[in-house]
Amino acid sequence: MSDIVKFEVVNKIAWVSFDRPEKRNAMSPALNRKMMSVLDELEFREDVGVLVLTGEGSAWTAGMDLQEYFRDTEAQGLKGIRQSQRESYGWWRRLRWYQKPTIAMVNGWCFGGGYGPLFACDLAFAADEAKFGLSEINWGILPGGGATKVAVELLSFRHAMYHAMTGELVDGKKAADWGLVNESVPLNKLKERVEEVCKVLLAKNPTALKATKDAIRRVGNMDYDEAEDYLVHMQEAANSFDNEGRKEGMKQFLDEKTYKPGLGAYNRNK
């Protein structure tokens, strides 16, 4: 099981990879269990500031392993099905609310169930050559496991309908145009671009980053008054948890005049 997910930490970036290239990184129950343990190991490590999720070989992930995730677990009855669902949905849910900023670096194929971790990551960057698809319609089911919800959350109504009903592939450029990912760049520039974004995030206050990413996910289903109330209390909680960081940022702006919040982050090394 040790070779189905791998990671390394370099300069405060945890590079986590799906590592089943011979299966286009399809997610099996064993991979899902391993991914949860890797997330556990990295979440509160002091030498990790950002987590990047990518794939080995030509794929990010082809989605759920049809043999191991579906056929083999269905043979175990409802108990097996529910267990495999908990293991996959569990680490996707964990990733959505992860302590550190997360980035999906989509280097190749991203199908079906792969939309779960794609949406779970805070940011997403793709290779122009990457291929995205909700292929479930092509083998007789609807896009389950949250995939339909991801399409509705990230795409316009018409794009979501077309994407899910036709099963046609879109490349990285179209995925960026549609909003599935933040940006698309040539594959040979992808890691460089993701590293640039990681450096930007690593310069920010980590407490503020966690509060901000949680707020973005929470307020989408609130009306304005609910969101305003939630954000007021979240700001108070963040201030009390990391008050020294806030004070330092305000001092550098108001007293020392060494930076402007709209143009960059305060110096956290002072």
- Angstrom CA distances, 96 to 63, 89, 90, 172, 213, stand at 18, 11, 10, 22, 9
One domain, residues 213 and 146: no
Mean pLDDT calculated for residue range 6-23: 97
Contact yes or no for 8/46 (Cβ under 8 A):
no
Residues 194 and 222 in one domain: no
Q: Over range 209-221, report the average pLDDT.
A: 94
* 150 plus 22 within the same structural domain: yes
Query: 213 and 197 in one domain?
Result: no
pLDDT at 155 over 50: yes
Structure tokens at 41: 């190991």
pLDDT of residue 241: 63
Cα radius of gyration rounded to whole Å, the chain? 20
For all residues of the chain together, what is the average pLDDT? 89
In this prediction, residue 1 has a pLDDT band, given cuts at 50, 70 and 90, of very low
Mean pLDDT, rounded, for 16-21: 96
Nearest alpha-carbon partner for 150 in 191, 121, 183: 121
153 and 251 in a common domain: no
> How many separate domains does the chain show?
2
Mean pLDDT confidence for 78-102? 86
What per-residue string of b and e applies to 165-188 under the rule 16 or more CB within 10 Å gives b? eebebbbbbbbbebebbbbbbebe
Q: What is the CATH number of the domain that holds 59?
A: 3.90.226.10
Give the range of the structural domain holding residue 60, as residue numbers without chain letter.
5-202
The confidence score (pLDDT) of residue 109 equals 96
Per-residue confidence (pLDDT) for residue 244, from 0 to 100: 67
SS3 109: strand
- Residues 12 and 86 reside in one and the same domain: yes
pLDDT at 64 over 90: no
Residues 116 and 198 in one domain: yes
> For the residues 98-109, what does the mean pLDDT come to?
98
Residue 120 lies in a domain: yes
Residue 19: which pLDDT band, with cuts at 50, 70 and 90? very high
